[in-house]
Each structure stands twice: as C-alpha cells, then as structure tokens.
C-alpha cells in the first residue's frame, strides 16, 4: 500500500489534478470579484496637498521683499496647491452633495484668494469655489481659514487642482466637511494605499522566508 500511495503521489497525474483544481478556484474567485465590482461600483474621492510653499524666504524677512494683495501687504504669504481627484469607478454628480452642501477644507490660516483653478482631462468642467470674505481695515487684513468646493459634477478620473494664497504658517490641511452620499474619501494620492499594502505584504513574506 505504501508503494502504491508513493507512486500516485509522485506521478504526474497528481500534480496535473492539483493544478487544475487551483486554476478552477482562481477563475471562480476572479469571476465572483468581477461580478461584485460590476454590481457594486465604488465612488471615491481622494485629496491631498501637492505643495505648501512660502513666497518670502527667511533671508528676505524684515521688509526687503513683500507680497501685496488688493493693495495691502500679506505678512506671511504661502502658496498651497490642493488636489482633488475622482478616484472611483463612476461619475459623482452634484445631486450627491447632501442638502447641497459644499466640501470644505481648512488651512488653519487666513485664505486670501484662489490664484488658479484647473481640471483635467480636457473637456471636464472645473467646480466653483468659495473662500469667504477678505476684510481690509486700514493696514489690517483678515480672512476665513477655509475653502469650499461647491456641488458639481466630478467625472471618473477627473483631477482638480486648486492653487490658494494664504497668510499664515504651514499647517496640516484638513477636510472638515465631506457631505457626499455613498462616496468614500481618502486624504492620500490615488494608489498610495495599494502601494503601502503591497509593501507590507512583501515585507511580511520576506520576514517569513528569513525565519
């Protein structure tokens, strides 16, 4: 009996059987995954800060170089580039903004104005933005610390870049209001979480092999 079992185990028939079963399970899993994706299309918005840069370096502190906005000097001017992407599998419509509320980002510093607003790919429409009122009293200025993205159509794969002039120190940008219904939000560039997960799995495998 031992000889028969050994011959069967070592024969090519066993390995062919095992490969066939494995391939069938893989195909079935892929088919189930594809069906689930088609029946449950995910909507997702990713946002992140591309850059947060002072306009006046320390070497020019003390009045040697200054930035003026609407005729008044900005004490601590910075340029913040905020990116917002539809990273999901379907379009996001304006009707998905609950009660017509806007997405709000807070910079923890006075927002002077939106310097530039671009969108890609070609043909996609840029959203409207709101930064609140910029107030000037004599030589004193003040503004709200937030930027709002009004309800809009965000096409699948659309990327919106908002360049903002702020007056203040560098602080983490926060999304303080995200009123979209059934839409996932992530504060990292698209693909970052997948790369991090892949790296963690690879590290775990290498650690297991090295044991």
Strand-strand pairing, 184-186 and 44-54: parallel
H-helix or E-strand spanning residue 179: none
With CA atoms as reference, report the closest residue to 86 among 35, 158, 141. Answer: 158
Higher-pLDDT residue of 154, 18: 154
**Beta-strand (E) ranges in 87-178?**
103-106, 110-120, 129-130, 134-137, 140-143, 146-149, 159-167, 174-177
Residue position matching structure tokens 């009004």: 150
| Angle between helix 2-10 and helix 12-39 axes, rounded to 10 deg | 50
List C-alpha distances in Å: 191 to 111, 153, 172, 195, 198. Answer: 30, 22, 21, 6, 11
Distance from C-alpha of 61 to C-alpha of 150, rounded to nearest angstrom: 37
The confidence band for 87, taking pLDDT boundaries of 50, 70 and 90, is very high
Check residue 15 and give its pLDDT. Answer: 55
Query: How distant, in Å, are the alpha carbons of 41, 44, 185 from that of 49?
Result: 27, 17, 14
Domain map (residue ranges) of the chain: 1-40, 44-189
pLDDT in tens, 2-54: 555 555 555 556 556 555 666 555 555 554 444 444 445 589 999 999 999 99
* Residue 198 pLDDT greater than 80, yes or no: no
């Amino acid at each position: 009996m031992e000889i028969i079992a050994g011959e069967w185990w070592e024969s090519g028939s066993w390995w062919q059987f095992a490969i066939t079963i494995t391939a069938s399970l893989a195909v079935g899993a892929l088919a189930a995954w594809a069906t689930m994706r088609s029946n449950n299309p995910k909507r997702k918005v990713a946002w992140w800060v591309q850059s947060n840069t002072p306009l006046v370096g320390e070497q020019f502190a003390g009045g040697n170089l200054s930035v003026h906005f609407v005729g008044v000097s900005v004490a601590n001017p910075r340029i913040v580039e905020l990116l917002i992407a539809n990273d999901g599998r379907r379009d996001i419509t304006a009707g998905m903004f609950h009660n017509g509320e806007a997405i709000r980002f807070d910079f923890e510093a006075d927002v002077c104005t939106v310097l530039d607003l671009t969108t890609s790919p070609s043909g996609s429409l840029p959203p409207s933005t709101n930064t609140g009122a910029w107030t000037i009293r004599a030589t004193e200025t003040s503004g709200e610390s937030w930027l709002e993205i009004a309800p809009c159509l965000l096409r699948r794969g659309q990327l919106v870049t908002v360049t903002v002039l702020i007056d203040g120190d560098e602080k983490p940008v926060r999304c303080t209001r995200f009123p979209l219904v059934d839409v996932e939000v992530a504060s990292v560039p698209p693909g970052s979480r997948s790369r991090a997960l892949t790296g963690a799995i690879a590290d775990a495998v290498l650690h297991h092999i090295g044991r």
